Each structure stands twice: as structure tokens, then as C-alpha cells.
Copies of this chain bind each other. A is one copy, B any other.
């Protein structure tokens, strides 16, 4: 749960990050930035600001802005019936994104998830994404990411998005953000 005022402030901050990228975005698009607190009510630590540009039954294109050190919690995009699950290419556009996924754990990871949730982060193979770097994740693959000290903006190019059905390691996560008036 987050108050409306914080939701609006996060949209404005994300707009600033998107403007730093130089990617052409229309004013009306920026008004649609979705702020996700993953039900944890600690947005500056755990959360993401998501601008959906394309959302068809086959393809999704999103820009995700993360505030400095903000973490998008560990999750995967599961198989759903005959759909093998979302395959996703993350491509850094601005700042730095530390992406973690399955594989050899990195000895001295650059990112530190919120200490009180540390146990829900189980994949530690680090890939540092600087502008123009990208990685494609197969469906059903655990991953999480955190921005560096100035924040970060990443593209998500994927097959069909089914975000509300994402599976998170942290049982406290709820994918829908509840906003209350303050």
C-alpha cells in the first residue's frame, strides 16, 4: 500500500529518469507510468516504475525506471497452459542495472537487496548492464535486479506479458499495487 501522493511523486521521478535517456516519449505516455510497490510498502527500497509501450498478445515492450538502489524483487514468468511463459530481454538504456539470475553465484555482488528480505533472494549470478548491454532470460527463470547509485532505466523486450501471474520468491509480495488517498 502506498499513499496517492507518493505514487504521484514516484511517477514524476520516473519521468525525470526517462527524460535523461533521450528516448522519445509522449507526454500522454508518461502519464501512464505504473508504480509497483509489490505490496511491500517500501517503494524506495523494493519497487519499480514501469512504462508499457507495446502490449499485444505476442509482444510487450516496456521501459522500467529504478531509483538509486531500488530493487525489483526476485521473480519468474511461469508457464501458463500452452504458453511457455514470458521470455524477456533486459537492455540497459541509462545508468546501471545489476541483474541477478541463475548460474554461478558472484563472489562479491555489487547489489544488496533490502537486508530484512535477504533470505528471499536466492539467485546470485550477477550481470552488470551498462547502457547498450542486454541479456535474454528464458521463460520460468528466477531473476531480480537493482539499480546503481544514480538509478537506472532498462528496456524489457518480451513475449506476451502476464505480469499479474509472475511468481515471486518473497511470500509477502503482492503484484497489484494498492493506492490509498492521503
- Measuring CB to CB, which residues of chain A are less than 8 angstroms from any residue of chain B? 21-26, 29, 53-54, 56, 58-59, 61, 87, 89, 91-94, 131-134, 136, 157-159
Bound together, the chains give a CA A158 to CA B159 distance in angstroms of 10
Asked, given contacts A22-B21, A59-B59, A159-B59, whether A89 binds B54 with beta carbons under 8 Å apart, the answer is yes
Extra contacts, 15 of them, besides A24-B132, A29-B132, A61-B89 (Cβ < 8 A), are A22-B22, A22-B23, A23-B93, A24-B131, A25-B132, A26-B132, A53-B134, A54-B91, A54-B134, A54-B136, A56-B136, A59-B59, A59-B157, A61-B61, A157-B157
Q: Can you list 6 A-B contacts (CB < 8 A)?
A: A23-B23, A24-B94, A54-B91, A54-B157, A59-B157, A59-B158
